[in-house]
Amino acid sequence: MPKGSPERTAARKEEIISACEKLYQTMSFKDITLKEIGSETSFSRPTIYNYFQTKEEIFLALYEREYDRWNIELTDILENNDTLTKEQIAEKIASSIANRQQLLKLLSMNNYDMEANSRTELLTSFKVAYGESMKNVCRILTKFCPEKTVQDIQDFIYVFFPFMFGIYPYTTVTDKQRDAMKQANVDYVYQSIFEITNNCLLKLL
């Protein structure tokens, strides 16, 4: 870890993560390099190695930040509502996910490689944010669906969280993909992130 104040360290890590986020808007994971990430920061590329050892670690930190942002929205649902119907629960969670398109894009990537090429302490930090999302959804279900048993809630989690890995590729398609589906005579009904998520939640609830 580089010398300097915790504030400076945190600020530089955030700058690196934000640089990666900017590139990820227009480039694929495989095409983004540490050199390109470094070119988007205010310091030299070798400095990045003081904070992250691999590209995967930077993406994992971006991934963690997305879960942190989602947790803020989930906590808002939990704390700012006294009662919710199942339809309202589905609508609010689906809306929160529709706001997190970058999280869904990251979910659709190869998480095994990302996690395998990251140090344990960074992976643990990521798992804390991921785990908090699972806990927040459990808290929402416990509060607003008191009839659900512990087993019911666990079953919900183990269906819905794996489902999230497929939301992005099923809802965000290129013109090339649409043409290929048409030529393959696949009668696929395209839905928005909100629609596909809301439908799934209504069935699970």
Could you tell me if 48 and 78 lie in one domain?
A: no
Please check whether residues 122 and 45 belong to one and the same domain.
no
Shared domain for 178 and 86, answered yes or no, is yes
- Do residues 102 and 21 lie in contact, with contact meaning Cβ atoms separated by under 8 Å? yes
The per-residue pLDDT for range 148-170, each reduced to its tens digit, is 999 999 999 999 999 999 999 99
Q: Which domain holds residue 13?
A: 1-52
Within this chain, do residues 21 and 84 fall inside the same structural domain, yes or no?
Answer: no
Average pLDDT of 169-191?
Answer: 90
Residue pLDDT, tens place only, 59-94: 999 999 999 999 999 999 999 999 999 999 999 999
What's the pLDDT at 110? 82
pTM: 0.92
pLDDT value of residue 102: 95
The answer to whether 167 touches 196, Cβ cutoff 8 Å, is yes
The rounded distance, in Å, linking the Cα atoms of 23 and 48 is 16
112 and 44 within one domain: no
Which CATH number is 179's domain given?
1.10.357.10
Q: Check whether residue 28 and residue 86 sit in a common domain.
A: no
Q: Is 38 in the same domain as 97?
A: no
